[in-house]
Structure 1
Amino acid sequence: MTWFESTFLTRVAIPAALVLVVQVAITQVQRDLGLPVFSAAHAQKDAKKPERETRRTPALRNKVYEKLSEAQAAAEAKDLAMAKSILDAMIAEGGKKALNSYELANVYNLYAFIQYSREDYAGALRSYEQVVSQPDIPLAMEINTRFTIAQLYFVQEEWQKGIDALELWFNMTDTPNANAYVLLAQGYYQVKDYNKALINVEKAISMQLEKGKIPKEQWYNLARFLYFEKNDVKNTVRTLEALLTYYPKKEYWVQVSHMYGEQKKEADQLAAMETAYVQSMLEKDSEQVNMAYLYLNGDVPYKAAKVMDKGLNNDSIEGTSKNWELVGASWRQSQELKKAIPAMEKAAAKSNKGELYARLGNVYLDNDEYKKAVSAINKGLSRGGVKRPDSARLVLGMAYFNSQQYDKARDAFEAAAEDERSEEYAKQWMAYMESELSRQKALQEEDAALQQMTEALTQPDTDEELEVEVSPEDVVNKKSD
């Protein structure tokens, strides 16, 4: 079964009552196989159709009606072989000349039903073509049959023939409905005439709205696809917003969020995705991760961290190195260093490169855990794969400096300075470190001198005890000397 059949024919209940006293109905195939349809000429409300011709239809004779009724009864009992044999006999008994045009039309109409029931669509098409080829059949019968013919061409995936048949039907009917316009739109879509397809489906949508009815979801989806294919972002968004008005589903929130991003409407992009998230619609790993990135880009890192943390803990987000890195970075931007550290530790442990250990070292440094920072950065550098070794060595130098390992700090700064991107900053740190070391040395010397003087003044001379009065001013003057 083709795509067209599975989408539309499965909705059709084929009626058994095909024969009426005055006219044989065309079947619900033509009434219920309603799809999208239309062309620009048909969209004009004020366009007047030519006056209908007056037809003098031959009578349906009683003996012919009885045979048709017998065939119909067999068809209702699903005895299609019997129904066909009755029709074959009607043709064979006196030949086609024995039946008038209206009687022949009814015979071929019932033939078409039997063939359609057997999924012989090509045969049904031939029989329906025989129906409309008969002269002087009722105009309504011809109009209904032509619509069925168009639909069967679509079932056969003969798109252009289907379009042509529908165009002919539009020219004959006074009351085309929205489904007919959608059907024609589908045909134009298949032949990639997107402009005419859009005209038709938009006509169908507007007809429904004018009646105060909600257009079908698939109609909006056809319009959305067509606008997207034309790279018409504005109308794609408009159509998605209409879909969300009547059919608020997850996929439409996600799609409209993406399209808002195309329009650089970051606030709307975040709001649309968040609406889906708070309704527990975002179940996929990628959707939740995307939500976290949108929060980060919107300067809401705390919410990004919460999304990632929840997903990682309930296993709806895969515990990859990259995902743990994202939650760690989010907690860090939220100034939640105690939560950032375990996340970054997991990220680094799952990575086969040293980059994440270098970043972990940064977090340790921010949290004043200098020895852990030294260990993490050295591990990252030895493992390799650090994107900016010069920056990592700058941080390493800071960690060494704060842990009072000055020689190692100097080595780290000197190594960082070999890269021109970090040279100036590394030299500033070395200068600061040397200045700090000089200041510390001076303080130590002053403290030592003061301690020595204090000890000398408080201990008596062993050879001879002298009473010496020392004033505070003497101590200060001595310190100055």
Structure 2
Amino acid sequence: MNRSKPITWIRASLLAVPVLATQVAFTQLQISTELRPMSAAFAQEGGAKAERETRRTPALRNAIYEKLSEAQVAAEAKDYGTAKAILDELIATSGSKALNSYELANVYNLYAFIQYSKEDYAGALKSYEKVVSQPDIPLAMEINTRFTIAQLYFVQEQWQKGIDALEKWFAMTETPNANAYILLAQGYYQVKDYDKALVNVDKAIAMSKAADKVPKEQWYNLARFLYFEKNDVNNTVAVLEELLKYYPKKEYWVQISHMYGEQDKTSQQLAAMETAYVQNMLDKDNEQVTMAYLYLNADVPYKAAKVMDKGLNNNSIDGKSKNWELAGNAWRQAQELDKAIPAMEEAAAKSDKGELYARLGNIYLDNDQFSKAITAINKGLSRGGVKRPDTARLVLGMAYFNLNEYGKAREAFIAAGKDERSATYAQQWIGYMDSEIERQQALKDEGRALEAELAEAPGLQQAEGESGAAADEETAGDSAADVESADDSAAGEKEQAGQPAAG
């Protein structure tokens, strides 16, 4: 019997969408209103590549700085109307008071802050784009703004634009951190460019390890998803093993158990699932049923039966017919017929087909409960849906035979023999039953003849006394031996006929 059971729900969990890029963008996005008055002619702030150009940045004049500071205070106090009015006034200046590129960049940066605070992300994006379009702004300001632009595109789920903006940022910065690689990886994940997504998430994880830090759980989950999507079983397992090292959660034990199965590592598959089970992590119906199937596949039916018994009795496993059937089969394979019977009774009662009653009858026969076997099999045949009616009728005939109801046994065997798959067994049983009937009849005839002979010679019986009594005892002993021999022969024939299994 194939005891394996597809566990597509585990595959679904492995394909679960990893942490969303939009969520990461929200948590990482930091809008700055910092103002930087520049009196120096050069702004060479850190973070740019060595080959970056030297920029001559215009100064931020004090009068403009004071107005910007006033607008900033209003914005941070959520007085957005006042803040915007100040900025509008600054933008409107012309002539000698017209704003230079650096001053304009600071104005648009503050506009963006106000718009972002009001959840006007499209407006904030436009303002940030105006910041980086200004010539000769400090390189650090451009770098930071480009990163913010990329994040805002991700917030709006404009994945490709976010990727493009982030790639520009990478081209400008010397020291991108692991979070930036993760953000880029999630962008590529969203556009289904899994190869590039993997390159970046693996880079982030490697950077974190190199810094003696534990990579974030979400990073591993993104890598797990990407490898699984590429059908890279070995690397999926490797990522899950890392996850379990740092984050030993139930879902990872369940997932790695499934993946070990994909690698045909059956002992590790069982061990991983069992680790979760003994820690009472498997609280879902399908998880516990999977545990039982794994025990059955490992030829440990007793443990499978215990899992099912516990779950069915505490209602953590659905008490449907199929689950009671699994419990009954496990108990039967464990040679615990007294426990298999009530489980299979539940299964049969909850089923709308007769198949399980036929199997129940088989178990009753194994347990020498012949009358119950007859009742169960007849109920199954009457209900319909028995997969092998011929086999069920063979078992029915055996039960009748063991109750010495030879006429009904013959009817059952004849009916079974109409199916060519059981014809040979049925004929063997009929032949054996006929010989048994003849043997029993011969014993009866012999007994009657002996009684008649003794009745005709009472004097001889009286003369022999104890000798005659001894002869009677010997004769009775021979008859008992013959009956015992017949029982043994019937049992042997029953085995030869191939009593059907319950599974």
Normalising by the smaller structure, the TM-score range is 0.7 to 0.9
244-253 vs 175-184, greater mean Cα deviation = 244-253
**d(CA) in 2 for partners of 1:466, 1:13:** 119
CA deviation vs aligned residue, 1:153-205 (integer Å, no higher than 9, x gap): 11122211111111111111000111111111111111111111111111111
Instruction: Measure, in 1, the Cα distance between the counterparts of 2:465 and 2:73.
Output: 140
The residue aligned with 1:339 is: 339
Instruction: Pick closer, same or farther for the CA change 1:406–1:140 going to 2, 3 Å.
Output: same
Equivalent AA in structure 2 for residue 84 of structure 1: K
| Amino acid corresponding to residue 244 of structure 2 in structure 1 | L
Q: Does the Cα contact within 8 Å between 2:25 and 2:152 map onto a contact in 1?
A: no
Offset from partner CA, 1:297-322 (integer Å, 9 cap, x none): 11111111111111111111121111
Shift of 1:95: 6.7
Match of 2:448 in 1: 448
Mapped to 2, the partners of 1:368 and 1:284 lie a distance apart of: 37
TM-score, normalised on structure 1? 0.87
Aligned residues: 446
Question: Is contact 1:397–1:412 with CA below 8 Å preserved after alignment?
Answer: yes
Q: Secondary structure at the match of 1:75?
A: helix
The RMSD of aligned alpha carbons is 2.6
Partner of 1:354: 354
SS in 2 for 1:59: coil
Q: What is the Cα deviation at residue 441 of structure 1? A: 2.7
**Alpha-carbon distance change, 199 to 14 in structure 1, aligned in 2, over 3 angstroms:** closer
Q: Is the 8 A contact 1:104 1:134 kept in 2?
A: yes
Whole-angstrom CA distance in 2 between matches of 1:227 and 1:5? 18
Pair 1:220-2:220 in alignment: yes
Deviation at 1:419, TM superposition (A): 0.8
SS of the equivalent of 2:459 reads: coil
SS in 2 for 1:460: helix
Shift of 1:15: 5.9
Q: CA deviation at 1:379?
A: 1.1
Contact 2:354 2:386 (8 Å CA) reproduced: yes
**Alignment partner, residue 195 of structure 1:** 195
What's 1:292 paired with?
292
Distance in 2 between residues matched to 1:206 and 1:452, nearest whole Å: 102
Relative to structure 1, is the Cα distance of residues 302 and 96 closer, same or farther in structure 2, using a 3 angstrom cutoff? farther
Q: Give the corresponding residue for 1:76.
A: 76
CA distance in 2, matches of 1:438, 1:96: 130
1:349 CA drift (Å): 1.3
Paired residues for 1:182-261 under 5 Å: 182-261=182-261
Please state if 1:418 is matched with 2:434.
Answer: no
Aligned partner letter, 2:250: K
CA distance in structure 2 between the partners assigned to 1:306 and 1:193 by the alignment: 46
In the TM superposition, residue 21 of structure 1 has moved relative to its aligned partner by: 3.8
Q: Distance in 2 between matches of 1:336 and 1:199?
A: 55
CA distance 1:340–1:467, change in 2 (3 Å):
closer
Q: Residue in 1 aligned with 2:181?
A: 181
Compared CA separation, residues 95 and 342, structure 1 to 2 (3 A): farther
- 1:456 offset after TM fit, Å? 4.0
Task: Compute the displacement of 1:439 (Å).
Answer: 2.8
Q: CA deviation at 1:109?
A: 0.9
- Contact 1:166–1:184 (Cα < 8 Å) also in 2: yes
Distance of 1:8 and 1:298 partners within structure 2: 43
1:286 maps to a residue whose letter is N
Give the C-alpha shift of residue 445 in structure 1. 3.0
Asked if 1:157 is matched to 2:157, the reply is yes
| Deviation (angstroms), 1:296 | 1.2
**CA contact 1:270–1:295 (8 Å) conserved in 2:** yes
State the TM-score, normalized to the length of structure 2. 0.83
Q: 1:400 corresponds to which residue?
A: 400
Alignment of 1:304-343 (within 5 A): 304-343=304-343
Structure 1 segments (4+ residues) deviating >6 Å: 465-472
Please show how residues 139-158 of structure 1 align to structure 2 within 5 Å.
139-158=139-158
Tell me, yes or no, if structure 1 residue 18 matches structure 2 residue 17: no
Rounded to whole Å, the distance in 2 between the matches of 1:14 and 1:181 is: 17
- Is residue 8 from structure 1 mapped to residue 7 from structure 2 by the alignment? no
1:134 and 2:150 matched: no
> Counterpart in 1 of 2:459?
460
Any residues of structure 2 matched to 1:365-380 within 5 Å, and which?
A: 365-380=365-380
Aligned equivalents of 1:82, 1:14: Cα separation in 2? 22
Structure 2, unaligned stretches of length 5 or more?
Answer: 1-18, 40-46, 476-503
Structure 1 CA distance, aligned partners of 2:353 and 2:456?
A: 61
Amino acid at match of 2:241: E
- Counterpart contact for 1:4–1:154, Cα < 8 Å: no
Q: Find the counterpart in structure 2 of residue 39 from structure 1.
A: none
Once the two structures are TM-superposed, the CA of residue 128 in structure 1 deviates from its matched residue by: 1.0
**CA displacement, residues 45-74 of structure 1 (integer Å, 9 cap, x when unaligned):** xxx966121112111111111111111111
CA distance in 1, matches of 2:288, 2:95: 72
Q: 1:276 — aligned with what? A: 276
2:230 and 2:32 map into 1 onto residues whose CA distance is 44
Q: 2-side partners of 1:97 and 1:125: how far apart?
A: 27
Shift of 1:142: 0.9
1:346 Cα deviation (Å)?
1.4
> Which amino acid in 2 is paired with 1:64?
I
The C-alpha deviation readout for 1:27-54, integer Å capped at 9, x for no partner, is xxxx9xxxxxxxxxxxxxxxx9661211
CA contact (8 A) 1:4 1:157 kept: no
